[in-house]
Amino acid sequence: MKIGITCYPTYGGSGIVATELGLELASRGHEVHFITYDNPIRLDPSHPHILYHEVEVPTYPLFHFPPYTLALASRMAEVAERYSLDLLHVHYAIPHSISAFLAREILAVRCRVPFITTLHGTDITFVGAEPSYFPITKLGMEKSDGLTAVSEYLRNETVRVFGIEREIRVIRNFVNCEIYRPARKDARQNPYAPPGVKVLMHLSNFRPVKRVQDCIRILAEVLRRTPAFLLMVGDGPERGPAEQLARELGVDQHVAFLGKQNQVHRLIPLADVMLLPSRLESFGLAVLEGMACGVPPVATRVGGLTELVTHGVDGFLEPVGDIEAQAARVLELLTDEELHSRIAAAARYTALSRFCTSLVIPMYEEYYRQVCAG
């Protein structure tokens, strides 16, 4: 098939999932066209089945805000017609579903190019629920030829908040279990932490919903009982406050802020515990990537995380903001080798048995065929 994919090319879950999906589809022989304003994070445009089409937004004195949605719609229509795309797949409802809807209407008299919208979380729970965006977000979903969500939680929230009555297919996020895998004990060398010190890791876009400063507070509690080092992977508005808090708590020598990283599959196996203290997660991609690498998660009992992690089996889930409880779980994992080994093995098994690309990508392929068949 010939598939057009549009996403936010920045460092965030929706863009990463869209990019990984495109790479997996291309590896299966599909022709994948990325249509965005910048080259997506983690995308390898040198792949023979991947093409990238940049969206240019001309500036004009009349426009206080450049009309990206309209420029994107025109580019989608142009690429779809020129390359005879079978469908468009947009990730994150706003504004991509509206641009795809306009592109479909532009092409309607010449050809049929259906589009699928995948909901990722904040496009529904935060952005789309804002009164200014509510009607247009609902329209984009209702006009989509196919609609998917990354968790049952997100599907239910979409129905509750927007009153959507049509089918929303749940296709959960995925991980390439050949790329994301545990490191051999004899090959594991951590250039960031002192020798022999156990490592915690947090991976996100450092937005307020991630509660990044909780990671620093958890580290401070853990250090009262045992040596530890924290790797903070990613960047965003909460990085500065987190760095300041580390200095205030006197733990800044036990944490490294690595910024945005493309090769996270090489970093994650260096960790002993993955931290995700978010206020809300529609799925929790960083947790899944950690589990595939045999890194037990300590996360919060919210949203789609409860569909990914089985508490006490392949990770731990504690209440949002409960630093003491989360730190206690981290301590258990760092100081009890038998427990850590058991949880790590179960985490890897969960990734292998439920979320590997070999299981999930065929669900997208089948859905594409259904949507194209009308």
Write out the chain's pLDDT in tens, 374 residues: 999 999 998 777 788 999 999 999 999 999 999 999 988 877 877 788 999 999 998 877 777 778 899 999 999 999 999 999 999 999 989 899 999 999 999 999 999 999 999 999 877 876 656 788 899 999 999 999 999 999 999 999 999 999 999 999 999 999 999 999 998 765 567 788 888 899 999 999 999 999 999 999 999 999 999 999 999 999 999 999 999 999 999 999 999 999 999 889 999 999 999 999 999 999 999 999 999 999 999 999 999 999 999 999 999 999 999 999 999 999 999 999 999 999 999 999 999 999 999 999 999 999 999 999 98
Phi, psi of 243 (to 5 degrees): -65, -40
In a domain, 179, yes or no: no
In a domain, 166, yes or no: yes
In a domain, 13, yes or no: yes
Q: Global pTM?
A: 0.92
Please name the helix (run of DSSP H) or strand (run of DSSP E) that holds residue 300, with its range, or none: strand 297-300
* Whether residue 232 sits in one domain with residue 346: yes
At 369, is the secondary structure helix, strand, or coil? helix
In a domain, 180, yes or no: no
In a domain, 45, yes or no: yes
* Whether residue 364 sits in one domain with residue 298: no
* Whether residue 206 sits in one domain with residue 125: no
pLDDT recorded at residue 188? 62
The CATH number for 78's domain is 3.40.50.2000
* Whether residue 232 sits in one domain with residue 263: yes
How many domains does the chain divide into? 2
* Whether residue 105 sits in one domain with residue 64: yes
* Whether residue 167 sits in one domain with residue 280: no
- Name which of 186, 173, 171 is nearest 287 in CA terms: 173
Domain that holds residue 132: 2-174+356-372
Q: What is the pLDDT of residues 135-186, one digit of tens each?
A: 999 999 999 999 999 999 999 999 999 999 999 999 999 999 999 999 876 5
At 193, is the secondary structure helix, strand, or coil? coil
Cβ-contact 242, 271 below 8 angstroms: no
* Whether residue 90 sits in one domain with residue 35: yes
In a domain, 59, yes or no: yes
Cβ contacts of 62 within 8 Å, gap of 6 or more: none
* Whether residue 364 sits in one domain with residue 332: no
* Whether residue 16 sits in one domain with residue 116: yes
In a domain, 341, yes or no: yes
Q: What is the pLDDT of residues 192-237, one digit of tens each?
A: 888 889 999 999 999 999 999 999 999 999 999 999 999 999 999 9
* Cα→Cα distances 76→52, 97, 102, 110, 331, Å: 12, 11, 9, 15, 50
* Whether residue 235 sits in one domain with residue 164: no
In a domain, 92, yes or no: yes
* Whether residue 317 sits in one domain with residue 192: yes
* Whether residue 328 sits in one domain with residue 226: yes
Cβ-contact 369, 177 below 8 angstroms: no
